[in-house]
Amino acid sequence: MKDMNINRGAVSLTNLFLSLVLVVFSFAAINAQPATAAQVASGASLQTSYADLVSRVSPAVVTIRSTERSRNAQQFPFMDDPSLRDFFGDRTPQGQQQAPQRVQGVGSGVIVNSEGYILTNHHVVDGALEIKVELTDNRTFTAKLVGSDAPSDLAVLKIDARDLPTLQLGDSDKVRVGDFVLAVGNPLGIGQTVTSGIVSAKSRSTGVSDGSFEDFLQTDAAINRGNSGGALVNTNGELIGINSQILSPSGGSIGIGFAIPSNMAKNVMGQLISSGSVRRAKLGVTVQPITADLASSLGLSDVRGALVNQVEPGSPAERAGVKQGDVITEVAGRQVSDGNELRNAISNTTPGTSVALKIVRDGRPSEVSAKLDELKAETEANGRNERGEPASPGRFGMSVSPLTPELAQEYSLPRSTKGVVVTDVDPDGAAAESGVEPNDVIEKVNGRPTTTVAELKTAIEHINGKPALVLVNREGRSLFLTLRPAA
């Protein structure tokens, strides 16, 4: 009996040991992360650190300290905007009631040439009396401003140094939403900081400045004031963007940051280094985005493109045969989704260049060639879409009147303007819902001129299903709109 008890005890100990072994193996199985199919196929291992990448790119990112006279912001008057602001360093020292004669700014920059050329934001150095550049090896240089371009918010500096570490510019057109990125800069002046994230979106426009030439990469990598002018790099260590703005209700990072794409920066930087200024091409049109209703009215298969609502007389567009109501869908082989893409595609082209434009007119595609002029003004009119649609009395909820010479003079319209004036809009009617405003001049409906109230009624009384395409003149500016009667 005693031997049996001993054997039973031995069996129990053995079972306990096996159970412990199984538990250990179970934990090991739970903690082990299976490789993805792609990793198994390629033999790659999971990325656990970007330290080697950071050690390569960080020496090329510098801190920029500027000294300037106290003045009101010009290019970016959004330092105190609680909803949308750039993140340039604080310009007003704390604890002082009055602005000093000189204030300090802190930003970032990227060395793009071993001979001392540095790329940064225009707003980092705008109005600076003195610019200091601090390298990661603690050397400090006084920088010369080579050139600055407010519309793109880019600037180039030059320091007297040689054999500097640099970042190679990548191809931002090849960047994909979801790509992993690192943001490197000096947030809030605390010292160089690296944050990580992904590319959240492309071709963003925030309109913080004048909205002229914006084509931002959006990222959720944490960036704050002082990161302006710093680097956004991909996992190959290439510079794909210059950090420029954030969207934030508090002024701190909430994961919505914007960087100027490297291809735009490369073009601007090259011109600033070679000539100190930037030349941009001009097509000579104002445009508006395509909505679903507009696409239906215009016979488009896709809701994309730039609708031409005005053609400048004597412009490259007019010479090429572009007409009001055309939809530009492609420039030099590049698809155009909206007016912002059209403007950037034209502006990045050398003046004097002939470009092929694919357009849709009356539902039929065609192609024209335009030889671009040089843009002289600060920005090309962008014809941003505003809601405003005409309608006739009755079911459209508005009243109209013939455009007399007296009314034309009252509204400061050219004598050549012809159409019907909107005199009153029912706030609960279809016209108001569409955005019609009093004093709009209805010039055409579905391409047919409307110079009298009777012509307007005839043009729109048979609107059923597909919305009518209406051309209005609002304070001297032409605008295409769509109009549906109330349901």
Give the integer Cα–Cα distance in Å for 153 and 120: 8
**Cβ neighbourhood burial of 360 (10 Å; 0-12, 13-18, 19+):** buried
- Residue 33 has a pLDDT of 46
Report mean pLDDT in 10-residue bins for the chain, 487 residues. Answer: 46 49 36 47 65 96 85 41 42 45 84 96 91 96 94 95 95 95 94 95 72 82 92 96 87 89 94 92 90 89 90 92 94 88 88 94 93 68 29 61 74 79 79 77 86 78 72 84 70
> What is the helix (H) or strand (E) element at residue 231, kind and residue range?
strand 231-233
Contact 305, 292 (CB under 8 A): no
How far is the C-alpha of 101 from the C-alpha of 420, rounded, in Å? 56
Considering 205, 228, 248, 478, which one is annotated as catalytic? 228
Let me know if 440 is a catalytic residue.
no
Cα-trace Rg, the chain = 30
- Residue from 225, 175, 223, 169 nearest 203 by CA: 175
**Most distant pair of Cα atoms in the chain: their distance:** 125
Strands 216-219 and 420-425, sheet pairing:
unpaired
Contact in structure between 472 and 389 (CB atoms under 8 Å)? yes
Q: Are strands 231-233 and 216-219 parallel, antiparallel or unpaired?
A: unpaired
Report pTM: 0.63
Identify which of 341, 339, 306 has the alpha carbon closest to the alpha carbon of residue 324. 306
Is 401 known to be catalytic? no
Q: Which H or E run includes 65?
A: strand 61-69
Residue 18 contacts by C-beta under 8 Å, 6 or more apart in sequence?
none
User: 311, 343 in Cβ contact below 8 A?
Assistant: no
Report the pLDDT value the prediction gives residue 484, as an integer from 0 to 100. Answer: 73
228 among known catalytic residues? yes
| pLDDT of 416 | 76
Per-residue tokens: 401: 């009147």
Question: Which residue out of 86, 126, 153, 220 is catalytically annotated?
Answer: 153
Structure tokens at 485: 């009667």
Domains and CATH numbers, the chain: 54-275 (2.40.10.120), 281-374 (2.30.42.10), 398-483 (2.30.42.10)
Given the residues 58, 86, 122, 123, the one annotated as active site: 123
